[in-house]
Structure 1
Protein backbone atom coordinates (compact mmCIF):
# COMPACT_ATOMS: atom_id res chain seq x y z
CA UNK A 1 0.00 0.00 0.00
CA UNK A 2 2.70 2.51 1.03
CA UNK A 3 4.85 1.40 -1.96
CA UNK A 4 1.92 2.21 -4.25
CA UNK A 5 1.53 5.71 -2.78
CA UNK A 6 5.25 6.40 -3.11
CA UNK A 7 5.22 5.40 -6.78
CA UNK A 8 2.16 7.53 -7.41
CA UNK A 9 3.77 10.52 -5.73
CA UNK A 10 6.97 10.20 -7.86
CA UNK A 11 4.94 9.87 -11.05
CA UNK A 12 2.94 13.00 -10.33
CA UNK A 13 6.05 15.03 -9.51
CA UNK A 14 7.94 13.77 -12.53
CA UNK A 15 5.08 14.78 -14.83
CA UNK A 16 4.90 18.23 -13.21
CA UNK A 17 1.29 17.68 -12.31
CA UNK A 18 1.44 19.96 -9.27
CA UNK A 19 -2.29 20.37 -8.76
CA UNK A 20 -2.83 16.65 -8.78
CA UNK A 21 0.09 16.18 -6.44
CA UNK A 22 -1.35 18.70 -3.99
CA UNK A 23 -4.68 16.92 -4.18
CA UNK A 24 -2.92 13.66 -3.54
CA UNK A 25 -0.92 15.15 -0.62
CA UNK A 26 -4.10 16.51 0.89
CA UNK A 27 -5.71 13.11 0.62
CA UNK A 28 -2.71 11.55 2.28
CA UNK A 29 -2.95 14.03 5.15
CA UNK A 30 -6.66 13.28 5.51
CA UNK A 31 -5.92 9.57 5.66
CA UNK A 32 -3.27 10.13 8.36
CA UNK A 33 -5.65 12.33 10.38
CA UNK A 34 -8.43 9.80 10.02
CA UNK A 35 -6.08 7.07 11.18
CA UNK A 36 -5.12 9.12 14.24
CA UNK A 37 -8.77 9.89 15.02
CA UNK A 38 -9.74 6.24 14.68
CA UNK A 39 -6.85 5.22 16.95
CA UNK A 40 -7.91 7.83 19.52
CA UNK A 41 -11.51 6.66 19.29
CA UNK A 42 -10.44 3.08 19.86
CA UNK A 43 -8.40 4.20 22.87
CA UNK A 44 -11.43 6.09 24.18
CA UNK A 45 -13.62 3.01 23.73
CA UNK A 46 -11.07 0.89 25.56
CA UNK A 47 -10.81 3.44 28.38
CA UNK A 48 -14.61 3.62 28.57
CA UNK A 49 -14.90 -0.16 28.75
CA UNK A 50 -12.29 -0.26 31.51
CA UNK A 51 -14.12 2.49 33.42
CA UNK A 52 -17.43 0.66 33.03
CA UNK A 53 -15.82 -2.56 34.25
CA UNK A 54 -14.40 -0.79 37.33
CA UNK A 55 -17.78 0.79 38.04
CA UNK A 56 -19.54 -2.56 37.64
CA UNK A 57 -17.12 -4.24 40.05
CA UNK A 58 -17.46 -1.50 42.66
CA UNK A 59 -21.25 -1.38 42.35
CA UNK A 60 -21.54 -5.17 42.56
CA UNK A 61 -19.46 -5.21 45.76
CA UNK A 62 -21.42 -2.27 47.13
CA UNK A 63 -24.72 -3.99 46.40
CA UNK A 64 -23.54 -7.10 48.26
CA UNK A 65 -22.58 -4.99 51.30
CA UNK A 66 -25.87 -3.11 51.23
CA UNK A 67 -27.86 -6.34 51.02
CA UNK A 68 -25.97 -7.66 54.03
CA UNK A 69 -26.69 -4.42 55.87
CA UNK A 70 -30.35 -4.56 54.86
CA UNK A 71 -30.68 -8.14 56.14
CA UNK A 72 -29.18 -7.05 59.46
CA UNK A 73 -31.54 -4.09 59.72
CA UNK A 74 -34.52 -6.32 58.97
CA UNK A 75 -33.47 -8.68 61.76
CA UNK A 76 -32.89 -5.77 64.13
CA UNK A 77 -36.23 -4.19 63.35
CA UNK A 78 -38.03 -7.49 63.95
CA UNK A 79 -36.20 -8.05 67.23
CA UNK A 80 -36.86 -4.54 68.50
CA UNK A 81 -40.50 -4.72 67.40
CA UNK A 82 -40.89 -7.95 69.37
CA UNK A 83 -39.45 -6.29 72.48
CA UNK A 84 -41.92 -3.42 72.17
CA UNK A 85 -44.79 -5.92 72.08
CA UNK A 86 -43.46 -7.51 75.27
CA UNK A 87 -42.96 -4.14 77.01
CA UNK A 88 -46.46 -2.98 76.13
CA UNK A 89 -47.89 -6.24 77.43
CA UNK A 90 -46.02 -5.62 80.68
CA UNK A 91 -47.26 -2.02 80.85
CA UNK A 92 -50.86 -3.15 80.27
CA UNK A 93 -50.52 -5.74 83.02
CA UNK A 94 -49.30 -3.04 85.41
CA UNK A 95 -52.04 -0.59 84.43
CA UNK A 96 -54.70 -3.25 84.85
CA UNK A 97 -53.23 -4.49 88.15
CA UNK A 98 -53.08 -7.96 86.65
CA UNK A 99 -51.90 -10.91 88.78
CA UNK A 100 -48.49 -12.45 88.23
CA UNK A 101 -48.21 -14.98 85.38
CA UNK A 102 -45.43 -16.82 83.58
CA UNK A 103 -46.10 -14.58 80.57
CA UNK A 104 -45.02 -11.62 82.70
CA UNK A 105 -41.76 -13.41 83.40
CA UNK A 106 -41.31 -13.91 79.66
CA UNK A 107 -41.96 -10.24 79.00
CA UNK A 108 -39.51 -9.14 81.68
CA UNK A 109 -36.84 -11.36 80.12
CA UNK A 110 -36.70 -8.98 77.13
CA UNK A 111 -35.83 -5.91 79.21
CA UNK A 112 -32.03 -6.19 78.78
CA UNK A 113 -32.23 -6.73 75.03
CA UNK A 114 -32.05 -4.42 72.04
CA UNK A 115 -30.44 -4.52 68.62
CA UNK A 116 -27.45 -2.37 67.68
CA UNK A 117 -27.25 -1.77 63.91
CA UNK A 118 -24.12 -2.80 62.02
CA UNK A 119 -23.20 -1.45 58.60
CA UNK A 120 -20.85 -3.19 56.18
CA UNK A 121 -18.62 -0.46 54.75
CA UNK A 122 -15.84 -2.36 52.95
CA UNK A 123 -16.97 -1.60 49.39
CA UNK A 124 -17.85 2.00 50.23
CA UNK A 125 -14.41 2.63 51.72
CA UNK A 126 -12.88 1.12 48.59
CA UNK A 127 -15.04 3.43 46.48
CA UNK A 128 -13.92 6.46 48.49
CA UNK A 129 -10.26 5.50 48.17
CA UNK A 130 -10.61 5.39 44.36
CA UNK A 131 -12.69 8.55 44.27
CA UNK A 132 -16.49 8.65 44.37
CA UNK A 133 -16.42 10.54 41.07
CA UNK A 134 -15.55 7.27 39.34
CA UNK A 135 -19.33 6.74 39.33
CA UNK A 136 -20.71 8.54 36.30
CA UNK A 137 -24.33 8.35 37.45
CA UNK A 138 -24.52 11.54 39.50
CA UNK A 139 -27.88 10.79 41.11
CA UNK A 140 -26.80 7.33 42.24
CA UNK A 141 -23.47 8.68 43.49
CA UNK A 142 -25.25 11.25 45.67
CA UNK A 143 -27.70 8.65 46.98
CA UNK A 144 -24.86 6.31 47.98
CA UNK A 145 -22.92 9.10 49.71
CA UNK A 146 -26.03 10.29 51.58
CA UNK A 147 -26.82 6.76 52.73
CA UNK A 148 -23.35 6.10 54.15
CA UNK A 149 -22.53 9.60 55.37
CA UNK A 150 -25.92 10.65 56.78
CA UNK A 151 -28.54 7.90 57.11
CA UNK A 152 -26.34 5.15 58.56
CA UNK A 153 -24.47 7.40 61.04
CA UNK A 154 -27.73 8.91 62.30
CA UNK A 155 -29.27 5.54 63.08
CA UNK A 156 -26.11 4.21 64.74
CA UNK A 157 -24.61 7.27 66.41
CA UNK A 158 -27.66 9.34 67.28
CA UNK A 159 -30.71 7.14 67.66
CA UNK A 160 -28.83 4.21 69.16
CA UNK A 161 -27.12 6.52 71.66
CA UNK A 162 -30.52 7.10 73.29
CA UNK A 163 -30.81 3.35 73.81
CA UNK A 164 -27.27 3.10 75.15
CA UNK A 165 -27.87 5.98 77.55
CA UNK A 166 -30.92 4.28 79.03
CA UNK A 167 -29.20 0.91 78.91
CA UNK A 168 -26.28 2.17 80.99
CA UNK A 169 -28.22 4.27 83.51
CA UNK A 170 -31.77 3.33 84.52
CA UNK A 171 -31.94 -0.14 83.03
CA UNK A 172 -29.28 -1.80 85.23
CA UNK A 173 -30.96 -0.42 88.34
CA UNK A 174 -34.30 -2.04 87.60
CA UNK A 175 -32.85 -5.23 86.14
CA UNK A 176 -30.80 -5.78 89.28
CA UNK A 177 -33.76 -4.93 91.45
CA UNK A 178 -36.41 -7.10 89.85
CA UNK A 179 -34.70 -9.74 87.71
CA UNK A 180 -32.62 -12.70 88.74
CA UNK A 181 -30.62 -14.63 86.20
CA UNK A 182 -30.72 -18.38 86.50
CA UNK A 183 -29.24 -20.85 84.05
CA UNK A 184 -31.45 -23.92 83.74
CA UNK A 185 -29.36 -25.39 80.93
CA UNK A 186 -31.50 -23.88 78.21
CA UNK A 187 -32.47 -20.24 78.74
CA UNK A 188 -32.12 -17.59 81.41
CA UNK A 189 -35.13 -17.50 83.74
CA UNK A 190 -36.22 -14.28 85.39
CA UNK A 191 -38.35 -14.68 88.55
CA UNK A 192 -39.88 -11.31 89.51
CA UNK A 193 -41.79 -9.77 92.40
CA UNK A 194 -44.54 -8.35 90.26
CA UNK A 195 -46.40 -6.68 93.14
CA UNK A 196 -43.34 -4.54 93.92
CA UNK A 197 -42.95 -3.69 90.23
CA UNK A 198 -46.56 -2.47 89.99
CA UNK A 199 -45.99 -0.18 92.96
CA UNK A 200 -42.70 1.27 91.64
CA UNK A 201 -43.44 4.55 89.84
CA UNK A 202 -39.79 4.84 88.81
CA UNK A 203 -39.91 1.51 87.02
CA UNK A 204 -43.18 2.43 85.30
CA UNK A 205 -41.68 5.71 84.04
CA UNK A 206 -38.55 3.86 82.91
CA UNK A 207 -40.66 1.34 81.02
CA UNK A 208 -42.69 4.10 79.32
CA UNK A 209 -39.48 5.84 78.24
CA UNK A 210 -38.05 2.58 76.96
CA UNK A 211 -41.17 1.91 74.89
CA UNK A 212 -41.10 5.41 73.39
CA UNK A 213 -37.39 5.28 72.47
CA UNK A 214 -37.60 1.76 71.08
CA UNK A 215 -40.71 2.53 69.00
CA UNK A 216 -39.08 5.67 67.58
CA UNK A 217 -35.98 3.63 66.77
CA UNK A 218 -38.08 1.14 64.81
CA UNK A 219 -39.37 4.00 62.65
CA UNK A 220 -35.81 5.06 61.91
CA UNK A 221 -34.93 1.45 61.08
CA UNK A 222 -37.78 1.44 58.56
CA UNK A 223 -36.66 4.76 57.07
CA UNK A 224 -33.06 3.56 56.73
CA UNK A 225 -34.19 0.27 55.22
CA UNK A 226 -36.31 2.12 52.64
CA UNK A 227 -33.33 4.32 51.70
CA UNK A 228 -31.11 1.25 51.43
CA UNK A 229 -33.61 -0.55 49.20
CA UNK A 230 -33.82 2.56 47.01
CA UNK A 231 -30.05 2.61 46.53
CA UNK A 232 -29.94 -1.14 45.81
CA UNK A 233 -32.60 -0.68 43.14
CA UNK A 234 -30.59 2.19 41.64
CA UNK A 235 -27.46 0.04 41.58
CA UNK A 236 -29.36 -2.75 39.82
CA UNK A 237 -30.52 -0.32 37.13
CA UNK A 238 -27.02 1.07 36.69
CA UNK A 239 -25.51 -2.41 36.40
CA UNK A 240 -28.01 -3.18 33.65
CA UNK A 241 -26.91 -0.04 31.82
CA UNK A 242 -23.23 -0.97 32.15
CA UNK A 243 -23.67 -4.38 30.53
Structure 2
Protein backbone atom coordinates (compact mmCIF):
# COMPACT_ATOMS: atom_id res chain seq x y z
CA UNK A 1 0.00 0.00 0.00
CA UNK A 2 2.81 2.38 0.96
CA UNK A 3 4.56 1.64 -2.33
CA UNK A 4 1.41 2.48 -4.27
CA UNK A 5 0.96 5.74 -2.44
CA UNK A 6 4.60 6.68 -3.05
CA UNK A 7 4.26 5.94 -6.75
CA UNK A 8 1.16 8.08 -7.03
CA UNK A 9 2.88 10.90 -5.15
CA UNK A 10 5.91 10.76 -7.44
CA UNK A 11 3.70 10.83 -10.53
CA UNK A 12 1.82 13.79 -9.10
CA UNK A 13 5.06 15.61 -8.20
CA UNK A 14 6.57 14.94 -11.60
CA UNK A 15 3.39 16.18 -13.25
CA UNK A 16 3.53 19.35 -11.19
CA UNK A 17 7.17 19.87 -12.12
CA UNK A 18 6.39 19.36 -15.81
CA UNK A 19 3.55 21.87 -15.62
CA UNK A 20 5.82 24.39 -13.91
CA UNK A 21 8.54 23.88 -16.54
CA UNK A 22 6.01 24.23 -19.35
CA UNK A 23 4.69 27.40 -17.73
CA UNK A 24 8.20 28.82 -17.46
CA UNK A 25 8.96 27.95 -21.10
CA UNK A 26 5.72 29.55 -22.26
CA UNK A 27 6.47 32.67 -20.20
CA UNK A 28 9.98 32.85 -21.66
CA UNK A 29 8.62 32.40 -25.16
CA UNK A 30 6.05 35.17 -24.64
CA UNK A 31 8.76 37.41 -23.18
CA UNK A 32 11.05 36.72 -26.15
CA UNK A 33 8.19 37.39 -28.54
CA UNK A 34 7.48 40.71 -26.81
CA UNK A 35 11.16 41.68 -26.88
CA UNK A 36 11.43 40.77 -30.57
CA UNK A 37 8.29 42.77 -31.29
CA UNK A 38 9.70 45.78 -29.43
CA UNK A 39 12.98 45.39 -31.33
CA UNK A 40 11.14 45.23 -34.65
CA UNK A 41 9.13 48.37 -33.83
CA UNK A 42 12.31 50.16 -32.77
CA UNK A 43 14.15 49.07 -35.92
CA UNK A 44 11.24 50.17 -38.13
CA UNK A 45 11.25 53.59 -36.44
CA UNK A 46 15.00 53.98 -37.00
CA UNK A 47 14.70 52.87 -40.64
CA UNK A 48 11.90 55.34 -41.25
CA UNK A 49 14.03 58.16 -39.82
CA UNK A 50 16.97 57.10 -41.98
CA UNK A 51 14.76 56.96 -45.06
CA UNK A 52 13.46 60.48 -44.45
CA UNK A 53 16.99 61.76 -43.84
CA UNK A 54 18.26 60.14 -47.02
CA UNK A 55 15.34 61.46 -49.06
CA UNK A 56 16.19 64.95 -47.80
CA UNK A 57 19.84 64.45 -48.76
CA UNK A 58 18.85 63.21 -52.19
CA UNK A 59 16.66 66.27 -52.71
CA UNK A 60 19.57 68.52 -51.72
CA UNK A 61 21.92 66.70 -54.10
CA UNK A 62 19.46 67.06 -56.97
CA UNK A 63 19.20 70.82 -56.35
CA UNK A 64 22.97 71.15 -56.05
CA UNK A 65 23.37 69.18 -59.27
CA UNK A 66 21.36 71.79 -61.18
CA UNK A 67 23.24 74.58 -59.44
CA UNK A 68 26.65 73.14 -60.31
CA UNK A 69 25.55 72.68 -63.92
CA UNK A 70 24.59 76.36 -64.00
CA UNK A 71 27.97 77.36 -62.49
CA UNK A 72 29.73 75.24 -65.09
CA UNK A 73 27.84 76.87 -67.97
CA UNK A 74 28.32 80.42 -66.69
CA UNK A 75 32.01 80.04 -65.88
CA UNK A 76 32.65 78.56 -69.32
CA UNK A 77 30.87 81.46 -71.05
CA UNK A 78 32.76 84.01 -68.97
CA UNK A 79 36.11 82.35 -69.73
CA UNK A 80 35.33 82.45 -73.45
CA UNK A 81 34.29 86.11 -73.20
CA UNK A 82 37.44 87.18 -71.37
CA UNK A 83 39.84 85.16 -73.50
CA UNK A 84 38.29 86.68 -76.63
CA UNK A 85 38.92 90.16 -75.10
CA UNK A 86 35.32 91.18 -75.66
CA UNK A 87 33.95 94.43 -74.27
CA UNK A 88 32.08 94.76 -70.99
CA UNK A 89 28.30 94.54 -70.71
CA UNK A 90 26.31 94.64 -67.47
CA UNK A 91 24.81 91.23 -68.30
CA UNK A 92 28.23 89.84 -67.35
CA UNK A 93 27.70 90.80 -63.71
CA UNK A 94 25.69 87.63 -63.03
CA UNK A 95 28.61 85.57 -64.37
CA UNK A 96 31.24 87.27 -62.21
CA UNK A 97 29.38 85.88 -59.21
CA UNK A 98 30.14 82.25 -60.11
CA UNK A 99 33.48 81.85 -58.23
CA UNK A 100 31.79 82.98 -55.00
CA UNK A 101 28.75 80.74 -55.41
CA UNK A 102 27.74 78.02 -52.98
CA UNK A 103 30.01 75.05 -53.68
CA UNK A 104 28.87 73.08 -50.64
CA UNK A 105 26.72 69.96 -50.75
CA UNK A 106 24.71 70.52 -47.56
CA UNK A 107 24.48 66.84 -46.64
CA UNK A 108 22.91 66.04 -43.25
CA UNK A 109 24.43 63.35 -41.02
CA UNK A 110 21.99 63.70 -38.10
CA UNK A 111 19.98 60.49 -38.57
CA UNK A 112 23.10 58.37 -39.09
CA UNK A 113 24.81 59.86 -36.04
CA UNK A 114 21.65 59.08 -34.06
CA UNK A 115 21.80 55.49 -35.31
CA UNK A 116 25.46 55.15 -34.30
CA UNK A 117 24.69 56.47 -30.82
CA UNK A 118 22.05 53.73 -30.41
CA UNK A 119 24.17 51.03 -32.03
CA UNK A 120 24.30 49.92 -35.66
CA UNK A 121 23.12 46.45 -34.65
CA UNK A 122 19.59 47.84 -34.38
CA UNK A 123 19.46 47.17 -38.12
CA UNK A 124 19.17 43.41 -38.47
CA UNK A 125 19.93 43.27 -42.21
CA UNK A 126 23.73 43.09 -42.44
CA UNK A 127 23.90 44.12 -46.11
CA UNK A 128 21.76 47.20 -45.46
CA UNK A 129 23.92 48.06 -42.46
CA UNK A 130 27.07 47.88 -44.60
CA UNK A 131 25.45 49.95 -47.37
CA UNK A 132 24.56 52.69 -44.88
CA UNK A 133 28.08 52.77 -43.45
CA UNK A 134 29.59 52.99 -46.94
CA UNK A 135 27.22 55.75 -48.00
CA UNK A 136 27.76 57.94 -44.94
CA UNK A 137 31.36 57.17 -44.06
CA UNK A 138 32.78 56.92 -47.59
CA UNK A 139 30.58 58.64 -50.19
CA UNK A 140 29.25 61.46 -48.00
CA UNK A 141 32.57 61.82 -46.18
CA UNK A 142 34.35 62.45 -49.50
CA UNK A 143 31.92 65.27 -50.28
CA UNK A 144 32.44 66.75 -46.83
CA UNK A 145 36.23 66.58 -47.19
CA UNK A 146 36.07 68.40 -50.52
CA UNK A 147 33.78 71.03 -49.02
CA UNK A 148 36.44 71.79 -46.42
CA UNK A 149 39.23 72.08 -49.00
CA UNK A 150 37.17 74.35 -51.26
CA UNK A 151 36.13 76.50 -48.30
CA UNK A 152 39.80 77.00 -47.40
CA UNK A 153 40.68 77.95 -50.99
CA UNK A 154 37.71 80.32 -51.12
CA UNK A 155 38.75 82.05 -47.88
CA UNK A 156 42.40 82.34 -48.85
CA UNK A 157 42.13 83.19 -52.56
CA UNK A 158 38.72 83.84 -54.12
CA UNK A 159 37.17 86.01 -51.43
CA UNK A 160 40.13 88.43 -51.02
CA UNK A 161 40.39 88.84 -54.81
CA UNK A 162 36.66 89.46 -55.19
CA UNK A 163 36.58 92.06 -52.42
CA UNK A 164 39.46 93.91 -54.02
CA UNK A 165 38.26 93.92 -57.64
CA UNK A 166 34.46 93.78 -57.51
CA UNK A 167 31.45 95.53 -56.04
CA UNK A 168 28.57 93.39 -54.81
CA UNK A 169 25.25 94.47 -56.31
CA UNK A 170 21.71 93.44 -55.35
CA UNK A 171 21.24 89.73 -55.75
CA UNK A 172 24.01 87.33 -56.79
CA UNK A 173 25.81 89.78 -59.09
CA UNK A 174 29.27 91.38 -59.02
CA UNK A 175 30.30 94.49 -60.94
CA UNK A 176 34.03 94.88 -61.70
CA UNK A 177 35.68 98.04 -60.40
CA UNK A 178 37.79 98.12 -63.55
CA UNK A 179 36.83 95.73 -66.33
CA UNK A 180 40.05 96.26 -68.29
CA UNK A 181 42.07 95.15 -65.29
CA UNK A 182 39.95 92.01 -65.00
CA UNK A 183 40.37 91.39 -68.71
CA UNK A 184 44.15 91.24 -68.31
CA UNK A 185 44.19 89.53 -64.92
CA UNK A 186 45.59 86.00 -65.11
CA UNK A 187 44.74 85.27 -61.47
CA UNK A 188 41.03 85.81 -62.07
CA UNK A 189 41.14 83.62 -65.16
CA UNK A 190 42.74 80.87 -63.08
CA UNK A 191 40.01 81.27 -60.46
CA UNK A 192 37.40 80.87 -63.20
CA UNK A 193 39.09 77.75 -64.55
CA UNK A 194 39.15 76.28 -61.05
CA UNK A 195 35.48 77.16 -60.56
CA UNK A 196 34.60 75.51 -63.85
CA UNK A 197 36.54 72.39 -62.92
CA UNK A 198 34.91 72.20 -59.48
CA UNK A 199 31.44 72.72 -60.92
CA UNK A 200 31.98 69.90 -63.42
CA UNK A 201 33.49 67.59 -60.78
CA UNK A 202 30.76 68.32 -58.24
CA UNK A 203 28.05 67.81 -60.84
CA UNK A 204 29.36 64.31 -61.57
CA UNK A 205 29.68 63.52 -57.88
CA UNK A 206 26.13 64.69 -57.22
CA UNK A 207 24.89 62.30 -59.90
CA UNK A 208 26.90 59.40 -58.48
CA UNK A 209 26.10 59.96 -54.80
CA UNK A 210 22.45 60.73 -55.51
CA UNK A 211 22.15 57.34 -57.24
CA UNK A 212 23.89 55.62 -54.32
CA UNK A 213 21.48 57.37 -51.94
CA UNK A 214 18.49 56.22 -54.00
CA UNK A 215 19.74 52.63 -53.91
CA UNK A 216 19.95 52.66 -50.11
CA UNK A 217 16.50 54.26 -49.86
CA UNK A 218 15.06 51.41 -51.94
CA UNK A 219 16.75 48.84 -49.71
CA UNK A 220 15.24 50.50 -46.64
CA UNK A 221 11.79 50.52 -48.26
CA UNK A 222 12.08 46.81 -49.01
CA UNK A 223 13.16 46.14 -45.43
CA UNK A 224 10.17 48.06 -44.06
CA UNK A 225 7.80 46.00 -46.21
CA UNK A 226 9.00 42.72 -44.70
Query: 1:135-190: CA deviations, max 9, x gaps?
Result: 1111111122222222222211x21133213212221343234321234xxx3653
Q: Is the contact made by 1:160 and 1:217 (CA closer than 8 Å) also made in structure 2?
A: no
Q: Is the contact made by 1:155 and 1:221 (CA closer than 8 Å) also made in structure 2?
A: no
- The residue number in structure 2 matching 1:114 is 102
Q: Secondary structure at the match of 2:100?
A: coil
CA distance in 2 between counterparts of 1:177 and 1:152 reads 35
Query: 1:101-154: CA deviations, max 9, x gaps?
Result: 333222113331123233333332332222111211111111222222222222
TM-score w.r.t. the length of structure 2 is 0.84
- The residue number in structure 1 matching 2:146 is 159
Cα 1:78–1:188 shift into 2, 3 Å: closer
CA distance in 1 between counterparts of 2:198 and 2:149 reads 7
The reply to whether residue 200 of structure 1 matches residue 188 of structure 2 is no
Question: Of 161, 171, 175, which aligns to 1:191?
Answer: 175
Q: CA RMSD in A?
A: 2.7
Q: Which structure has the larger Rg?
A: 1
The reply to whether residue 149 of structure 1 matches residue 137 of structure 2 is yes
Question: Of 153, 176, 187, which aligns to 2:163?
Answer: 176
Shift of 1:92: 1.5
TM-score w.r.t. the length of structure 1 is 0.79
Cα 1:188–1:141 shift into 2, 3 Å: closer
- The residue number in structure 2 matching 1:75 is 63
Question: Could you say which structure has the greater relative contact order, defined with CA pairs below 8 angstroms and 6 or more residues apart?
Answer: 2
State the aligned residue count: 225
CA distance in 2 between counterparts of 1:223 and 1:161 reads 20
Matches within 5 A, 1:49-68: 49-68=37-56
Cα 1:212–1:180 shift into 2, 3 Å: same
Would you identify which runs of 4 or more consecutive aligned residues in structure 1 move more than 4 Å? Answer: 17-32
Cα 1:188–1:86 shift into 2, 3 Å: closer
Shift of 1:29: 5.0
Q: Secondary structure at the match of 1:191?
A: strand
Q: Secondary structure at the match of 1:169?
A: helix
The reply to whether residue 134 of structure 1 matches residue 118 of structure 2 is no
Shift of 1:218: 2.3
- The residue number in structure 2 matching 1:42 is 30
Q: Is the contact made by 1:144 and 1:231 (CA closer than 8 Å) also made in structure 2?
A: yes
Q: Is the contact made by 1:55 and 1:135 (CA closer than 8 Å) also made in structure 2?
A: yes
CA distance in 2 between counterparts of 1:16 and 1:109 reads 104
